[in-house]
């Protein structure tokens, strides 16, 4: 487990106090026989509180590890990471740690081909427990491209974020009612009084006129007869 590049100072109490949060180890494992042997990769600085944030402090890969990672990539092995389960809302330090680890993986070849550029996301639940971790590389595919330059595999280019669950929307009755009211008002603004009497009832008047005309034209013989008499 112990490696020369482990930054013990990072996990020291002094730093923790500065960050007003806690520091947890981020460990990784890549082995040829695929039996996980986790080693320290860096440490996560978790800022607790209402809006948790996270930052990462990590070291470079050693020469030895670089060659091992390439070998593992060649046999399509896995690159795993793990973080301990922590509780971000705890006030006391004794409370934040709980049993067990959360693990995730990518293909080692993707790690190599992306030149160690990975995206790590920590997921918490509603109350602030860390429930899962995920890792993807950018680009994510394994195309079998040889990474010639060893330097490319030295420094991690990590994008780190922490995600809390979003609040799912409920049925939006308020907006709907508002919209209905708006429509109602719109109807109310141009009421029918504004139209003239003829504009409103033109069809009735027209109908009446036609009716009168028809009845008049039917009458003439009788009316004419009366006039004659």
Which positions lie near another protein, rule CB under 8 A? 34-36, 76, 78, 80, 85, 98, 100-107, 110, 119, 121, 123, 125-127, 129, 131-132, 134, 136-142, 163-173, 175-176, 179
Contact of 100 with 84, CB cutoff 8 Å? yes
CB of 75 to another protein, least distance (A): 10
CB of 131 to another protein, least distance (A): 5
Q: Residue 2 in 3-state DSSP? A: coil
CB of 86 to another protein, least distance (A): 11
* Phi, psi (rounded to 5 degrees) for 49: 120, -165
Judged by CB, which is closer to another protein: 140, or 207?
A: 140
Judged by CB, which is closer to another protein: 98, or 157?
A: 98
Judged by CB, which is closer to another protein: 179, or 195?
A: 179
Report the distance separating Cα 117 and Cα 152, nearest Å. Answer: 10
152: closest CA among 118, 114, 120, 119? Answer: 114
The H or E element that residue 157 is part of is strand 157-163
Question: Which residue bears the tokens 């399509």?
Answer: 76
CB of 76 to another protein, least distance (A): 7
């Amino acid at each position: 487990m112990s490696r020369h590049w482990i930054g013990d100072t990072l996990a020291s109490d002094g730093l923790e106090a500065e960050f007003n949060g806690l520091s947890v180890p981020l460990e990784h494992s890549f082995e040829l026989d695929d039996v996980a042997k986790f080693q320290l990769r860096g440490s996560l600085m978790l800022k607790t509180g209402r809006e948790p944030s996270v930052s990462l402090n990590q070291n470079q890969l050693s020469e030895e590890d670089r060659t091992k990672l390439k070998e593992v990539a060649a046999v399509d092995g896995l690159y795993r990471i793990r973080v301990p389960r922590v509780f971000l809302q705890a006030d006391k330090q004794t409370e934040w740690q709980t049993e067990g680890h959360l693990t995730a993986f990518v293909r080692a070849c993707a790690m190599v081909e992306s030149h160690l550029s990975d995206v790590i996301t920590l997921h918490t639940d509603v109350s602030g427990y860390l429930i899962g971790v995920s890792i993807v590389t950018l680009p994510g595919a394994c195309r079998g491209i040889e990474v010639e330059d060893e330097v490319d595999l030295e420094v991690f280019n990590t994008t780190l974020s922490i995600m809390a669950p979003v609040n799912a929307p409920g049925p939006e009755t308020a907006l709907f009612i508002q919209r209905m009211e708006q429509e109602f008002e719109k109807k109310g603004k141009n009421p029918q009084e504004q139209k003239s009497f003829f504009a409103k009832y033109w069809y009735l008047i027209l109908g009446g006129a036609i009716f009168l005309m028809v009845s008049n034209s039917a009458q003439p013989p009788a009316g004419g007869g009366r006039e004659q008499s």
